[in-house]
Every structure is written in C-alpha cells, then in structure tokens.
Chains A and B, each alone.
Chain A
C-alpha cells in the first residue's frame, strides 16, 4: 500500500530524513519508534503533505500513485489520514462542519453521493459513543478549549468517521492518562481491517501494549536502522535506543 524508498527531506532548512525505506502492506500495523529528533514527526508531516517540509530525494508510492505529487486534500481524499501530535484549535469552525465537509469531500472523490443529514448524524453518534465523547462536542469549535485527551480522542473520532486506508498516528499517546489511552487504543483497534494499514509513530512502548503492532522499526538519524516484531519494542523499553544505534554503526 505504501512504499517509501530512499526518502530524503528537510524540515525547514534542516536535513532530517536521510534515506528512509519503509514498506507497509494492507492490513498491517507498523510502529515507528525512535529517540527525540530522529525524524519521526517529519516523516508523518511529509506523508500528509505539510508546507515547510521539502523532499530532496527518494520516492513515496501509495496505492501505485506518487503520493508526493498530491495536495494535502487529495491525499486525504485518497485515504491518507494523519492524527496530529498537536491537534489545532479552530474557534468558529465547528466539529460537525469539519466532519461533514471532510466526509463529503472524500465521498465525492470516490464518486459516492453526499450523506444526508440523518445518515450522517446516525454515523457520528455511533462513532462518538465508541470514543466516549459527549454530543455537545459536535457544535463546539474544532478542538476549542479541549483538554489534551479530548483533542486526541477527537483525532481518532475524525479518523473513524473518514475511514482512511492509511492511518498515520503521530505521537497519539503523548499526554494521555491511562483511561484516555485505553479509549484511544480501542478506537484505533476498531479500525484494524485487512484493507487498512496503520502506522504508529511513538516515543514510548506504552501505546503498543494496547495496539499490538505487526512490525516495529527504529528510526535514528533520519533512517530506519532496525526492524523487528513487537518484541523489539519491549527490548527498546528495557534497554533504550543506544544499543541499536551502536549495532547499526558497527
């Protein structure tokens, strides 16, 4: 589904990604771990098409298309979803507008008809229940005045409404208490399916207790320096990152 080859990228002026390779297949859950500054968030931003990040080399192929040529909205419409590390507060644009406009733009792109108000509300109510969110959230400004946990839950709510093919979660576990982490993890797990790929970018192993990955990668210096299964995450938790770096340097 996603094939990244020899990706080089700048964040602003700074070279952050230095030849990153990653293959993600449908139905798989990948965890990308690494110390601060290793390039985890840059990877997520580059894949979502954020301005200020410049690809200087390599290719990213998504469902057979050159992902890097697509605008952020076209990536979203093709099924790429990024759950933000720091979801943006947008007073005056309400959550229900964003969900409906996003969903209908994606449906239109797929050649489907727009959802009517009743269908839409039924869908939203069901998803909100899963995320244990109160319906009053719908008419509030996007993330406006939300706590850290509420913002992350809102990201997963959006994801479950938009039903992406490729879900990228950027440090979704950061700032969550254990109850919120369980709710968020349940939301993500409910989206696991043979047609969908999930990439978790995380600093800590904790999230992986709740969302079990098929593959774990260590990102360091802008490249993947080691890959393994979920046991690699446990080992990193115990031993830190230095031994992997030394192994890679050797």
Chain B
C-alpha cells in the first residue's frame, strides 16, 4: 500500500505541471505562451460542480487519473470505420498527424491545408501571434490546458472567394497504446470573404483504451463566408472527451455544426458562436445518445453581439441504461443588438427509468427588439405508438428501435453530406438494434 500512498502525495495539478516540465523547455515565444496557459490552468484547476457551467458534470474521475502526453503509434488491427469521404483526409493518431495515413488532394488556388506542426515549423512567430491574440486571455481552464500541451492539429486557410467543393475530413484516432495518455489536438479554420468549406472532425478510439482527448477547434469566418462543420464523437467507451468549438462570424457569415456525441465514458462538447457582424447566421444541430453508464454533456453558447443576427438550434438527447445526458443552451443578446431572431429547441428521450437528462435553456437578453424562442421536452417512448407497431407484427425491440430512430431522424435528416448521414444512420441503427431495414 505504500506505493499508492506515495503516488497520492502528488496532487493531480502537480502531475500536469511535471508532465509539462518534462515536455516543454526553451525560451521561444510559443513555449512562453504555453507556460502562461499552464499557469492559468493550474491556478483555476479543473472546473467543479460549483461552477454553474459544470453543475451537472463532475470531472473528479478525470482529474484523478494521471494522463501523460500521448505519442503516435501504429493503428490497431481492429479499429472503427472511417467515413468514406471524397477530398482531403488528415489523420491524427493520438493527437499527432500521420502523413502516411492522410490523403491530400490538390487544393484550389488560395486554399492551404497544413498540419499544426508544419505551421509551427514554417511560421513560429505567426503561430505565437495568432495564439496570443485568439486564445491567451479567453477560454476556460481546459482550453488553457490544450494551449499548454497541444502538439499538432490541422490548419485550413481559405483566401477570399475560394470554395472548397470537397470536405476536409479530420480523423482523430486514438489507439489502444494511448491508454493513460492525453492528447490536445487543435484545429484552426480561417475562411476569407465569401469563402466556403466543409470540415468534418471524427473522434474515434480503440475499444478498451482509457485516454483523455481535450480538443480545441476554432473557426474564423470573414464577411459572406460559409462553413459547415460536422463533429462526430465516437471515442472509446472508457475515454474522456472534452471538445471546445468556437466560431467567430463576421457580416453575413454563416456557420452550421452537427455536434454528434455517441462515444466516451465522459464526454462534453462546448460550442460557442460569436455573431459579430450583422446578418450573420449560426445553426447548431446536436444529437447525444449516452447508454450504459456514459455521461454526455452538450453546452452551447450563442452570442448575438451584432444587430440583425439570427440563430437556430435543435438538440436531441437519447439516454438509456443508467446514462446521464446534459444539454445547456445559452443565448445571449447584447445591448443594442436589435432585430435578433433566435430559436432553440431541446428534445429528450429517456429509454429507461434509471437514465437521466438535464436540459437547461438560458436566455440572457439585453436588447428589446428581439425574437427569441426556446422549448425543452423530456419524455419516454410513446406507448400507443409502440403498441401500434407491434400490432402490425414488429417485435418489441424493432418497434422501439424504429421509434428511437424516428426521434433521431429529425437531426439526421438535416445532414446533407451523404457519407456522414449514412454512417450515422448505421451507427444509430446498430446502437438500437434496428434489424429490419426497409427502404424500398
């Protein structure tokens, strides 16, 4: 027992400090930034449930683990399927880009897709300046933790008026050797005026690995630009996943996200859209489906800073077993941000008496000429509909699966990228054992 006691004398935060010190040395600007971020993280510590934004999600289990920075590794023999997308695919294994698994297609003029490591190598000063401006003072403790530890990621730059026809598909694969490791990938997408792109992020993990992914994704969309983002979280059932997505929208910019959470033991996605230019529009769609003992949390924040900005939000949660789901959707309308239209809907389905979903819409409105609506419901499968389907010969499990799929369908139907749509339909069906596929 003495070894256990010895281990416990090192506090969780000190372990991060030690991991940092053994990994990052030097006097360059980036290391200085990392150091400052680490200090911020150490002084704030892991969020606790006393923090309103973490009221329903307890990170003590994550905090108690000693994760160390992950190295890249060979892929496991059996790994989850990647999406069959056309276009550029960049694969990060345990947080490190692996060119051998990636496939870059020729980009149209004005579009560059590079790894974060490449960007640091080529333009260290620019990276430091960007991070200083964007991240040094913003973000919560876990975003600071990412800034302290991030090693790699993807950077997509789109010049004005460039259009990416094919999506950029970013695979975040964690392998079984990632057990007790952490990775802090960082994605930056900068879309110029009237530029258009679709970015897919897919988080996957080996079945039995316990690891920690703490990802930061930033979108900066200039006037008239449009970015579609698909974020599919299918981490290992033992993994911890924290994802931070932040988007800035200039005048008439458009952003949509599909925030799909199926994996991880404890998962949280924090999606923030800053509507800074008039005419900007953000659409947030989400589906989280914790089963067993999973805990999945979706936190969104729509910040209407400029007048004449609009947002729509539709999140659905399905919880079974003893699982717990959380939806917290905050809509902020700043003073003088008039003529705002913001609609929010949160619908939740409980499949067992021991499952729980906490849903909390929050409106903070400081302007008077605004249209904001929100609705939240939580219910169970409709007994009358179940009986109706069974009375036509469907087994109880098929009837339940059909109704669960129907509930998810309203989100899936908004996915207009076929490989993502097809893969998620399959995932949902397998998850709920829908055996009778019938699409005549």
Q: What are 7 inter-chain pairs, A to B, with CB distance below 8 A? A: A51-B383, A71-B390, A82-B391, A87-B388, A96-B439, A97-B439, A101-B393
* A51/B387 in contact, CB under 8 A: yes
Query: Residues of B with Cβ closer than 8 Å to A?
Result: 382-385, 387-396, 398-399, 402-403, 405-407, 409-410, 436, 438-440
Q: How near does chain A come to B159, taking the closest CB pair, in angstroms?
A: 42
CA gap between A105 and B389 in the complex, in Å: 11
CA gap between A121 and B439 in the complex, in Å: 11
Q: Encode A99-133 as 1/0 by CB contact (under 8 A) with B.
A: 01111111001000000010011001000000000
8 Å CB contacts to B: which residues of A48-80? 48-51, 71-73, 75-77
Instruction: Tell me which residues across on chain A come within 8 A of B382, comparing CB atoms.
Output: 88, 90
Q: How near does chain B come to A134, taking the closest CB pair, in angstroms?
A: 16
* B391/A120 in contact, CB under 8 A: no
* A76/B393 in contact, CB under 8 A: yes
Instruction: Tell me which residues across on chain A come within 8 A of B394, comparing CB atoms.
Output: 73, 98, 101-102, 105
A93 at the interface (CB under 8 A from B): yes
* A73/B396 in contact, CB under 8 A: yes
* A50/B387 in contact, CB under 8 A: yes
A233 at the interface (CB under 8 A from B): no
Instruction: Tell me which residues across on chain A come within 8 A of B436, comparing CB atoms.
Output: 97, 100-101, 104-105
Kindly name the residue among B383, B388, B389, B402 whose own CB sees the greatest number of chain A CB atoms within 10 A.
B388
CA gap between A91 and B201 in the complex, in Å: 30
Q: How near does chain B come to A234, taking the closest CB pair, in angstroms?
A: 32
- Chain A residue at minimal CB-CB distance from B438: A100
- Chain B residue at minimal CB-CB distance from A158: B392
* B393/A92 in contact, CB under 8 A: no
Instruction: Tell me which residues across on chain B come within 8 A of A82, comparing CB atoms.
Output: 391
Instruction: Tell me which residues across on chain A come within 8 A of B395, comparing CB atoms.
Output: 73, 105
* A105/B393 in contact, CB under 8 A: yes
* A77/B393 in contact, CB under 8 A: yes
* B405/A101 in contact, CB under 8 A: no
* A73/B438 in contact, CB under 8 A: no
A84 at the interface (CB under 8 A from B): yes
CA gap between A72 and B398 in the complex, in Å: 13
CA gap between A72 and B389 in the complex, in Å: 9
Instruction: Tell me which residues across on chain B come within 8 A of A87, comparing CB atoms.
Output: 388
Instruction: Tell me which residues across on chain A come within 8 A of B388, comparing CB atoms.
Output: 84, 87-88, 90, 142
Instruction: Tell me which residues across on chain A come within 8 A of B406, comparing CB atoms.
Output: 90-93, 141
* A72/B387 in contact, CB under 8 A: yes
* B392/A88 in contact, CB under 8 A: no
Kindly name the residue among A51, A88, A104 whose own CB sees the greatest number of chain B CB atoms within 10 A.
A88
Instruction: Tell me which residues across on chain A come within 8 A of B405, comparing CB atoms.
Output: 92-93
A9 at the interface (CB under 8 A from B): no
State whether A76 and B402 are in contact (beta carbons under 8 Å apart), knowing that A92-B409, A97-B439 are contacts in the complex. no
Q: How near does chain A come to B66, taking the closest CB pair, in angstroms?
A: 45
A162 at the interface (CB under 8 A from B): yes
- Chain B residue at minimal CB-CB distance from A98: B392
- Chain A residue at minimal CB-CB distance from B408: A92
Kindly name the residue among B389, B407, B436 whose own CB sees the greatest number of chain A CB atoms within 10 A.
B389
- Chain B residue at minimal CB-CB distance from A89: B385
- Chain B residue at minimal CB-CB distance from A84: B388
Instruction: Tell me which residues across on chain B come within 8 A of A109, comparing CB atoms.
Output: 393
CA gap between A198 and B206 in the complex, in Å: 57
Instruction: Tell me which residues across on chain A come within 8 A of B383, comparing CB atoms.
Output: 51
CA gap between A88 and B440 in the complex, in Å: 22
Q: Encode A182-208 as 1/0 by CB contact (under 8 A) with B.
A: 000000000000000000000000000
CA gap between A93 and B436 in the complex, in Å: 12
State whether A102 and B385 are in contact (beta carbons under 8 Å apart), knowing that A92-B406, A93-B402 are contacts in the complex. no
Cβ 8 A contact of A101, one of B391, B398, B410: B398
CA gap between A36 and B402 in the complex, in Å: 35
